[in-house]
């Protein structure tokens, strides 16, 4: 069984119900290393303390993504925190910049006030299994398998054929707050499809709205970073945020 698709491998949130956030994190912190040693390898187990944005990684075992204690959350987790989405995600697919395919699971734990306290995440590198599946497809179906319809049922944990390196999918795993901010701003600007120097105010407002939706402004110094990326002042970013939230008029 692939641990990233088997939530029974992780402590159920109900077992920690009624605890405060620090107690929850301390309990989960004790489980990170033994859990990583017990599951199918190569797997990484990460504990995010959701009170510590942007340096949420509190404990980590395994080296699948190369992150360390004090590193920021993924872009996907940050967006979910900003949206108040505390649902669990089981067995979803991600792809690293070097082309490796991950199957991941994220379990969110809330404290005694129903606030987000911690996220326990498992990331399993399933690239080898995908390669084996691809080889089997070529052997059984012939060399041109891209035009064949998908199999009616895939084995649990199968992540599908690899996408070309550089094509982003799933979530990103930044190693620093600067890297997290850069990838969020680059993605928001790229979505507009217009160079910053040619953007109108309305388009810059769209960038700021996208960044706010993604949780970008939960990060300290985020307004300054956004201002530098958009070629405006920090006060203009605050004006844009006020305008988006219906509490003021933005400047051009």
**Residue 1 confidence (pLDDT):** 53
In a domain, 132, yes or no: no
Comparing CA positions, the residue from 93, 119, 95, 125 lying closest to residue 106 is: 119
How far is 120 from 45, CA to CA, in rounded Å? 7
Q: Looking at the predicted structure, is the pLDDT value of residue 147 above 80? A: no
Q: Are 20 and 112 in contact (CB under 8 A)?
A: yes
Choose between 15 and 216: higher pLDDT.
216
Consecutive H or E run containing 118: strand 116-125
The pTM (predicted TM-score) of the whole model is: 0.80
Are 184 and 100 found together in one domain?
no
Q: Looking at the predicted structure, is the pLDDT value of residue 19 above 80? A: yes
**Residue 158 confidence (pLDDT):** 32
In a domain, 163, yes or no: no
In a domain, 135, yes or no: no
Q: What are phi and psi of 89, to 5 degrees?
A: -120, 125
Q: Are 117 and 52 in contact (CB under 8 A)?
A: no
How far is 17 from 218, CA to CA, in rounded Å? 26
How far is 182 from 195, CA to CA, in rounded Å? 16
In a domain, 107, yes or no: yes
**Residue 149 confidence (pLDDT):** 45
How far is 182 from 69, CA to CA, in rounded Å? 20
The residue whose two tokens read 């996208």 is 210
Are 195 and 115 found together in one domain?
no
How far is 229 from 69, CA to CA, in rounded Å? 28
What rounded mean pLDDT belongs to the chain? 84
Q: Are 192 and 199 in contact (CB under 8 A)?
A: yes
> How many domains, the chain?
2
Least confident of 82-86, 144-148, 174-178, 237-241: 144-148
How far is 30 from 48, CA to CA, in rounded Å? 13
Give the pLDDT confidence of 41-60 residue by residue, as tens digits: 899 999 999 999 999 999 99
Are 100 and 187 found together in one domain?
no
Domain final residue, candidates 127, 147, 169:
127
Hey, which residues does 125 pair with through a beta bridge?
A: 102
For the chain, percent of residues with pLDDT exceeding 90: 68
In a domain, 137, yes or no: no
CATH label of the domain that carries residue 40: 3.30.450.40
In a domain, 141, yes or no: no
> Token pair of 14, please?
């109900």
**Residue 160 confidence (pLDDT):** 35
Choose between 250 and 70: higher pLDDT.
70
**Residue 167 confidence (pLDDT):** 37
How far is 129 from 133, CA to CA, in rounded Å? 6
**Residue 229 confidence (pLDDT):** 96
Domain coverage including residue 234 = 177-244
Q: Are 85 and 50 in contact (CB under 8 A)?
A: no
Residue 132 CA to its chain's centroid (Å): 27
Radius of gyration of the chain (CA): 20
**Residue 7 confidence (pLDDT):** 62
**Residue 40 confidence (pLDDT):** 83
Are 92 and 195 found together in one domain?
no
In a domain, 145, yes or no: no
Mean pLDDT calculated for residue range 162-171: 45
- DSSP 8-class letter at 5: G
Comparing CA positions, the residue from 76, 77, 43, 75 lying closest to residue 60 is: 43
Are 190 and 111 found together in one domain?
no
């Amino acid at each position: 069984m692939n641990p990233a698709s088997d939530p029974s491998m992780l402590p159920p949130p109900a077992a920690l119900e009624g605890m405060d956030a620090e107690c929850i994190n301390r309990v989960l912190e004790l489980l990170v290393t033994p859990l990583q040693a017990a599951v199918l390898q190569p797997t990484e187990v990460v504990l995010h303390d959701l009170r510590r944005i942007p340096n949420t990684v509190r404990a980590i075992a395994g080296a699948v993504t190369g992150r360390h204690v004090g590193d920021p959350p993924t872009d996907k987790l940050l967006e979910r925190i900003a949206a108040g989405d505390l649902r669990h995600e089981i067995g979803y697919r991600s792809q690293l910049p070097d082309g490796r395919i991950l199957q991941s699971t994220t379990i969110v734990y809330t404290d005694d006030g129903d606030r987000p306290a911690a996220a326990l995440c498992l990331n399993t590198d399933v690239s080898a299994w995908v390669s084996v599946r691809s080889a089997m497809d070529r052997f059984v179906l012939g060399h041109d398998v891209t035009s064949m319809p998908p199999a009616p049922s895939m084995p649990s944990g199968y992540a599908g054929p690899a996408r070309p390196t550089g094509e982003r999918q799933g979530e990103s795993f930044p190693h620093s707050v600067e890297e997290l901010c850069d990838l969020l701003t680059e993605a928001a600007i790229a979505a507009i499809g217009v160079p910053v120097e040619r953007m109108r105010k309305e388009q810059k407002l769209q960038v700021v709205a996208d960044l706010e939706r993604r949780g970008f402004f939960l990060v300290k110094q985020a307004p300054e970073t956004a201002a530098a990326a958009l070629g405006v002042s920090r006060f203009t970013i605050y004006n844009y945020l006020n305008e988006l939230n219906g509490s003021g008029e933005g400047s051009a």
